[in-house]
């Protein structure tokens, strides 16, 4: 598992604020694995035994779940409009989970839920360019030049998207629609919908089927599974 600063771990355990935790460390009132630690910035892992004033701190175990988000569910912890949120599906678990990024209300598919802040920040940071694969049902038929525009990156509201991968899965000329797979490496607001709209093909239905190396597998809508330690470790070292 990843390393965290000692004062952050103490603060997250509810012992003291980050600043007060730093003072406790400097005063020699904190031990890690039986040794007094006074150096700020010391990093500890999930298995480090930490005491403050001789009392061991209780640390929340870290958990990450792969969730098949249904349509009509909000990717937030709460909703002022009273709509169902992704957190509602995890009420029976004894720890607080948060979504990694978001999926639109009317978008279904793979969403990660975690209480591992380090992992969430890592995955959402733009520099890490985590691949997200969507399948969209769009109006009309993409033309070769439009596919090139999407692939190269497209201007949407004063921002040019990063290069993407486009694959046409199925075309239905009678119904004037297409099923298209789009792989992006960012996570801007309504990005997939806005990209297709920019080339003149509004999205009728959208689902995310892959996140990095993770897929939905045999999961059905509204269900979840916990990631293994190996999967979490792989996510933390994702290219």
The four Cα atoms 136, 64, 45, 236 give a dihedral, to 10 degrees, of -20
CA dist 232 and 211 (Å) reads 13
Architecture, CATH, for domain 4-56? Roll (3.10)
For 105, the token pair is: 């209300």
- CATH fit for domain 131-211, picks 3.40.50.300, 3.30.70.1560, 3.40.50.720, 3.30.43.10: 3.30.70.1560
Quote the longest CA-to-CA distance of the chain.
75
- In angstroms, what CA-CA distances link 14 with 33, 44, 113, 194? 20, 17, 22, 42
pLDDT at 1: 45
CA dist 36 and 28 (Å) reads 6
DSSP character string of 81-117: T---BGGGGGTTSSS--EESS---TTEEEEEEEES-H
- Active-site residue list: 104
CA dist 9 and 14 (Å) reads 9
The answer to whether the CB of 34 falls within 8 A of the CB of 51 is no
- 227-230, Cβ contacts within 8 angstroms, sequence gap of 24 or more: 227/64, 227/65, 227/66, 227/112, 229/1
pLDDT at 2: 57
For 204, the token pair is: 């009728």
CA dist 69 and 74 (Å) reads 9
Q: Which sequence spans correspond to the domains of the chain? A: 4-56, 64-126+214-236, 131-211
Q: pLDDT 10s digit of each residue in the chain, 239 long?
A: 457 889 988 887 778 888 999 999 999 999 999 999 999 989 998 778 899 999 998 877 789 999 999 999 999 988 899 999 999 999 999 888 999 999 999 999 999 999 887 788 889 888 889 999 999 999 999 999 999 999 999 998 888 999 999 999 999 989 999 999 999 999 888 999 999 999 999 999 999 999 999 999 999 999 999 999 899 999 988 75
Burial of 134 (0-12, 13-18, 19+ CB in 10 A): buried
Residues 6+ apart with CB under 8 A from 137: 177, 178, 179, 203, 204, 205, 206
Q: What is the pTM of this model?
A: 0.78
Fold of 64-126+214-236: Alpha-Beta Plaits (3.30.70)
CA dist 32 and 144 (Å) reads 60
The answer to whether the CB of 131 falls within 8 A of the CB of 210 is yes
Q: Do domains 4-56 and 131-211 have the same CATH topology?
A: no
- In angstroms, what CA-CA distances link 24 with 55, 57, 202, 236? 13, 13, 57, 30
């Amino acid at each position: 598992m990843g390393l965290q600063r000692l004062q952050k771990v103490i603060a997250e355990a509810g012992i003291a604020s980050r600043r007060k935790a730093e003072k406790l460390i400097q005063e020699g009132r904190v031990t890690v694995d039986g040794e007094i630690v006074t150096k700020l910035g010391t990093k500890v892992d999930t298995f480090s035994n930490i005491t403050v004033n001789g009392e061991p701190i209780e640390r929340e175990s870290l958990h990450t779940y792969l969730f098949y988000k249904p349509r009509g569910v909000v990717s937030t912890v709460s909703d002022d409009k009273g709509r169902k949120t992704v957190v509602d599906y995890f009420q029976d678990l004894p720890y607080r989970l948060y979504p990694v990024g978001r999926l639109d209300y009317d978008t279904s598919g793979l969403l990660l839920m975690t209480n591992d802040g380090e992992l969430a920040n890592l995955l959402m940071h733009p520099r890490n360019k985590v691949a997200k694969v969507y399948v969209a049902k769009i109006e009309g038929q993409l033309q070769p030049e439009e596919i090139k525009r999407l692939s190269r990156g497209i201007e949407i509201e004063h921002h040019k998207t990063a290069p993407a991968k486009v694959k046409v899965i199925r075309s239905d000329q009678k119904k004037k629609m297409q099923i298209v797979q789009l792989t992006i490496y960012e996570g801007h607001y309504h990005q997939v919908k806005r990209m297709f709209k920019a080339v003149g093909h509004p999205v009728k239905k959208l689902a995310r089927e892959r996140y990095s190396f993770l897929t939905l597998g045999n999961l059905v809508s509204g269900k979840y599974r916990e990631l293994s330690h190996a999967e979490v470790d792989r996510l933390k070292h994702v290219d």
